[in-house]
Every structure is written in C-alpha cells, then in structure tokens.
Structure 1
Amino acid sequence: MASSHAATGLIAGLLATAALSPVFGAGPVELAAGAAVGAGAALLPDVDHPASTVTRFQGPVTRLVSAGARWISAAVYHRTATAADTARNGEHRHLWHTPAAALAAGAALGTAASLNPWALGAVLWFTIGVGLRGLTQSPTRRRRGDQPLSRPLATLAAAVIALLLVRGGASPGPYAGVIVAAGMLVHSFGDALTRSAVPLAWPLRIRGRRWAMLGTPRCLRFATGAWPERVVRVACLAAVPAVWIAIV
C-alpha cells in the first residue's frame, strides 16, 4: 500500500499546512514542503515491517532502525496486552500504527525541527525521499518491470528538493510535527479500511482488549492492492492540484 499511503499523506500534508497557515503563515513554498513531508510521513508507520518502503530506503541503516522499531513495538505489546488480547508477536501493525505513536513522533520531530535547522533539513530530506519512493511505486506491483524510483536517485532528488525548499524560504519547523503526525494518522486510518485493521484505541481498552483491531465494518473492508485502494490513490492524487489552486 506504499503508493496509496503516500498519496493520502500528500493531500493530508497539504491540507494540514493550509489549516495552520493562519497561525504560522504559509506561502506556496511552505505548502509544497508540507505536502512533501506528509507524503513521506504517511509511510513511517510501516517501519515495523522488514520489507517496507521506509525500511529499505537507506539500506542497512534503515533496516537497523526497523529492527529497533519492531523490538520496541513487541516489548510494548507484551507489557500492555491483557488476557483478552489475541496472542501476536506485537510487531507489524501494532505500536507504530496507533494514533498515540503518531502524536508522539510528531511532537518529537516537530520539536527537533523547530530547534535545529539541520534537524529540519533531515526531516525534509528523509520524508521527501521516502515519499518519492512510495509515489512512484505501483499500487499492485504486478506489472513486469515495475519498480519504484531507485534508492540512489530518490536520495539525491530528495536532497536537491529539500535544499531548494529551504533556500526558497520554507520554514515548516514549528508545525512540521503536526504534518508528520497527520501523515502517520492517515496511514493508520487507511489500514483500518483493510481486512487486518489496526489498534486505533490503544492504550484504551475495548471490551477488555487493549490491542483491539479496529476498522470499518467487516463487510466494507478490502484486501491490500484491491481496486478500492487504487480508487483512493487516484482520488487523492487528483485532488492535490484542485486543492492547491483553491488554497493558493
């Protein structure tokens, strides 16, 4: 679902930046930066999967980060699970797919980006690079020769775009955390549409279960890669220019 998540994050980042404009002020450069950060942030929750786009983005480095993220998620799951929870390993679609984790990550990255321009640059570079990899990936990845933008090219392109945005006056530091949180939230909400669902209520209990997998009614859920997912992706991508014109 990488391409669909990136598409929903793109529109979420744009809307979040526009919504915060009355407080911090946001011109075209800030809106572009917000959309780019949102696209990449919407892939961050899948750091808990060893084969995800974000895990493979920077090779051994991000694979190590993924291993640590899975370990933390499993540890939190086993420490907080109740007797009513279904026995699981607590890794993929657990801690990092919760609204609580999205808000915590947003607060941490937003604070860092506000205090240090290098941290802001790092947030821009990483999220833009991951977002590019996600947006250039097919929803199904079944076509012959279908591959996302290569890792070296995505890394270089992200660095150039991040530099241009910063040099162009982008200053999303004060609200970068909000955009990251928004991107991660739309990822979790998107997964709630699929058959596996996600623990949206954690750490609250639902019928005794702290890790209750919540989502839309089962009859409305779909498998990843199915046509409803592609509809969501196309709709979000089509909405971006319309929203941009309306805002700018």
Structure 2
Amino acid sequence: MGFSHATTGVLVGVAVAAPLAAAAGTPPTPMGLLAWALLGAGSALVPDLDHPSSTATRSQGFVTGLLSRGMRALSLAVYRRTRTPADRSDGEHRHLGHTPVFAAAVGAVIGLLCHLSWWATLVTAWFLAFLGLRALRKVAWRGLRTALGSWPGAALGALCVAALFLTAWDNHPPGWIVGAVVALGMIVHSLGDALTSSGVPLAWPFTVNGRRWAMLGVPRWMRFRTGTWPEWVVGAVSLTGSLAVGYALVA
C-alpha cells in the first residue's frame, strides 16, 4: 500500500499543514503546497519501516534498512513488555509503529528537534521528501519516473524540495508544524491499514477484549485486501481531494 499511503499523506500535507503554515505567517503558494504534499507523503510511509521489504525500508538502502531493524527491535521489545496472555502475534509489523501513541511521540520528538535546529529541519524535510518522491513516482511522466526510481535522482529531487521548504520560512519553519505533519501522516497510515483485512492496534496501550494488541478496524464487511481495487479508490480520492483543497487555497 505504499502508493495509497503516500496519497493520504499528500492530503494531510495540503489540507492540514498548509493552512497551519498560512496561520503561522506563510501564505500558500503552488510550490509551497508541493513541498508540504511531499512531506506529508513521506510521513505516511514511516510506519512501514517496521517491515523489511516495504517501500520505506527499501528506499534508501543501508540507512532505511538500519532504521527498519531498529523499529522492529523496539516494537518487539515493547510488545513483549506490554502483551497480555490473549495476545498472539510476532510483535513487529503493524504493531508499535502503527499506534497513534507512537505517532504522537515521534511527531513530538521531530517537532522539538526542528524547533532547536534548522539542520534537523533540513534532514527531516529531505528524508520525508525522498520517501514521498519514491512512493509517488508512479504518477510522474516516464522520464521523471525513471529518474526518481534511482537513488541519485530521488536524492536530488528531495534536496530541491528541502531547500524550497527552508527558503519559504527563511531557513527555520516552526518545528511544531513539521512535527504535526509527521504525526498526522503516520496516523492516517494506520487508519488506512484499519481498512484492510489485518487491522491495526489503534487502542494500544488500552486493552480490548483482554488484548492490548487487538487488531482493530472498520467492520469486516467493509475491509479489503491490499492490492485490490478499493486501495486504488483510496489513492484516487486522496489525490483528487488534495488537488481540490490546493486549488482553493491558492485561488
């Protein structure tokens, strides 16, 4: 679901982050909306760093591979410390990284770091834009799609986005907005997974029917398998909504 997750993140970046940025003193522009859209897209891929073969984990080779191993180890450790006798799972994929509590914590840490240092903002913006570009390259024209499929192409594109992002804020955008985008992007990822057959532990650390890691989601009859047509509907609706909101903001 890498592409569809990224599209929901685009909607977060355009519909939430851009208005927050406008309220903080930076009116939305087409290029500014593009930057927020890509940061949102990247944020919505972060939870899947807990899977060894996800789009996020494979995006930057050793770096994201190391992050993936770290997230899986942390998730497993927390799972083992907090599980109940009724919990039966591996404790890695779709566990800690897919909880709203963890998303809020990551967003808070990123927000604080970006508040303290523009370097942290630059690295965060570059990393998230890189993830976003790799996931969304399917909708780019063929030449650009090929370029973004390579590490140098995606890295250069992400650097341009990060530079544009910092320039718009005179090199130091409010860290809390960046943190909010990261947290909300991760949360919409989890909500997207709640539409699928497996569900996610949205209630953690609270127990549901005796399970702290209960996999929750929409009613069973509304769920779908990844890779089927409902997933493409989610992506299409998210992109259409993003375009509509973006047009309204800059018109």
* Deviations 1:26-79, CA, capped at 9 Å, x for gaps: 322554432221110000000000011111122112111111110110111111
* Deviations 1:90-111, CA, capped at 9 Å, x for gaps: 0000000000010000000011
Confirm or deny: 8 A CA contact 2:115 2:176 kept in the other structure: yes
Confirm or deny: 8 A CA contact 1:137 1:149 kept in the other structure: no
- Residues 128-139 of structure 1: pairs in structure 2 closer than 5 A: 128-137=129-138
Aligned to 1:209: 211
2:246 corresponds, among 232, 240, 244, to: 244
Runs of 4+ in 1 over 4 A off after TM superposition: none
Is 2:14 aligned against 1:14? yes
Q: CA deviation at 1:230?
A: 0.1
Instruction: Indicate how the Cα distance of structure 1 residues 222 and 82 shifts in structure 2: closer, same or farther if over 3 A, else same.
Output: same
Alignment root-mean-square deviation, CA: 2.0
* Deviations 1:108-159, CA, capped at 9 Å, x for gaps: 0011111100000011100000001111248xxxxxxx99722221111101
SS of residue paired to 2:112: helix
Larger deviation, residues 119-128 vs 168-177: 168-177
Confirm or deny: 8 A CA contact 2:200 2:216 kept in the other structure: yes
**C-alpha distance in structure 1 between counterparts of 2:99 and 2:192, whole Å:** 12
SS of residue paired to 1:69: helix
Q: Which runs of 5+ in 1 are unaligned?
A: 139-145
What amino acid maps onto 2:159 in structure 1? A
Is 2:176 aligned against 1:169? no
Confirm or deny: 8 A CA contact 1:34 1:176 kept in the other structure: no
Aligned to 1:108: 109
- Residues 1-248 of structure 1: pairs in structure 2 closer than 5 A: 1-21=1-21, 23-28=23-28, 30-85=32-87, 87-137=88-138, 149-169=149-169, 171-248=173-250
Instruction: Indicate how the Cα distance of structure 1 residues 232 and 241 shifts in structure 2: closer, same or farther if over 3 A, else same.
Output: same
What amino acid maps onto 1:221 in structure 2? R
Confirm or deny: 8 A CA contact 1:8 1:236 kept in the other structure: yes
Seq. identity, %? 50
**C-alpha distance in structure 1 between counterparts of 2:4 and 2:48, whole Å:** 13
Number of aligned positions between the proteins: 241
**C-alpha distance in structure 2 between counterparts of 1:220 and 1:241, whole Å:** 26
